[in-house]
Structure formats: structure tokens, C-alpha cells
Amino acid sequence: MSLQKKLLVVTDLDATLLDHNYSWAAAEPAIGQLRTYGFPLVFNSSKTLAEMKPLASALDSGAPIVAENGGLVALPENGGAPDTREYAIDVKGLARQTILDVAHGLRAREGYQFRGFADWSTAELAALTGLSTEQAEASGTRLATEPIRWDDSEANRLRFADSLATQGIRMLKGGRFWHLMGDVDKADGVQAVRQYYEQREPNVAWQVVALGDSANDTAMLEAADIAVVIPHAEGPRIQPEAAHVRHAPHPASAGWNAAILSLLAEI
């Protein structure tokens, strides 16, 4: 018996599915076709679940959501209307509280100078990030990662990072903050959603297509069956080592649209 082939699309958001103004309008033709075929569209971003839920609702995606750089996977629990959809949360890395206990314990004992999301009020976070109050609240609703601003020397940061590492906590440089998180990445999210769909629809040959633009997407692209690199204006920023790598012809949502449409035309 030959298996039915389906695409499972796993995508980064910023500068991949979304343009700099958070619009996915140019990707709507491809999103519509995925919906018509019943091919799942999974978000896999460093954003929080609270930040991504409204987008899943707007796109009417009933798929799981991978949040906080693979730190957690949210599985939809009911098939109801998008705005009432509930998710079962599976923390893949370390719980944020565990990370906070270790990091704040080190700060208290060693006198390290840093502040993080757990130290700031929503208003302070909004002022620091330029987010609206509502966005800052959604961004602060973290379950598996803690962003911090390091206000101490580089030598002390290395000592701090070493101490964290002994507790299984990584310290990764993000755009504006350092991110403290467990030993997981977006590739763990790919594994989790692949398993989820293989269990739900075992008679399907799932082809995982991952799309991303930057360094924290590389592992996700390498864990997929088909990797799609979304370029920036100056060209691609990453070179995943995978058997099937494609390069979208344009940055962000327009490139996303073209890449998915051409894959759909082939199957």
C-alpha cells in the first residue's frame, strides 16, 4: 500500500512568514492553498505562546505551536473556534521558574549585575522594548526562557554562563537581550510536531518543510525533510547542511509564498 503524501509546514515568523511590519499578506495565496489541501502550518518562533496565539487565530491554524525557541510545544486540545482554542503545554526545556531560581541565586550570592523580564513591570518592559503594553504583557508571559540585560563585565558574564551550564542552562545572545534557556532548540519542536502528526495520521507519509531566515533556524531546517532558506535583501544569512535545501526567491512573506507554491506544484 502506498502512503498518501502530505506536507507539514513548520515556519519561523519574523523575516520569514512575516514582513518587518508583521504582515503576512503576500503569503496569503500559499497559506490558502495549504488550508485547501489540509496541510498543517506550524509556527516555530522565539516568540511566546501568548504572542503567537492571535496570529494562529487570524490564520485559522489549528496546528500545534512551538514557542520560545523550542522551549515549549503547545498542542491544540479542541477543534473549536480559533479564539476559544485551548492548548496543552509541553515544556521541552527547563521551566522558567527553575531557570530563575538558579540565575537569581547566583546573582544574590555572587553580586552579578543583570536585570531581566522577571525583574521588570509590564510598563518598564514596554519602555525598554518599544512594545505596546499589551504586546509587552504577551512577551513577558514566558514559560521556558528568561531574557536578561547583562550590566556587568564580560569576564563575569563568562563566569555566570559557566555556572549556568553546570545546571543545564544556556545563555544565548539575542538581538537585544541574552536568553537563558534549557538545552533545546527549534529542532526539538520539529521532532515534537512530526511525532504528533505521525500518531494522528499514521497512514500519511509526512514531508516536513521548514522555513527560516536566521541562525536560530538552522537546526530546525536541518531537522526537516525540505529546508527553505528565506533570504534578506543582501542575500541568505544561513547555510543549513541538509539533503534538500531550497532558496526562496525573495525575502520574507513574498519569498515564503513563492517557495510554498512551487513545492505544492510539485506534489
In the complex, the residues that contact Mg ion under the rule CB under 5 A are 12, 14-16, 213-214
Compute the Cα dihedral for 166, 167, 173, 176 and give only its sign: negative
- The nearest distance, CB 130 to Mg ion, in angstroms, is 18
CB of 135 to Mg ion, least distance (A): 17
CB of 22 to Mg ion, least distance (A): 12
Output the smallest distance, CB 166 to Mg ion, in A.
31
Nearer to Mg ion, 16 or 44 (CB): 16
Q: In the complex with Mg ion, which residue's Cβ is closer, 52 or 169? A: 52
Q: Which three cell numbers stand for residue 76?
A: 491544540
Strands (E) located in the chain: 4-11, 41-44, 65-67, 72-76, 87-91, 114-116, 145-150, 170-173, 178-181, 204-212, 226-229, 245-247
CB 128 within 8 A of CB 163: no
Cβ proximity to Mg ion: between 169 and 211 the closer is 211
Nearer to Mg ion, 46 or 61 (CB): 46
Q: Identify the CA nearest to 159 among candidates 106, 100, 97, 104.
A: 106
For residue 231, the minimal CB distance to Mg ion (Å) is 12
Beta-carbon contacts of 141 under 8 Å, excluding residues fewer than 6 positions away, are: 48, 49, 50
User: With respect to Mg ion, which residue has the nearer C-beta, 19 or 213?
Assistant: 213
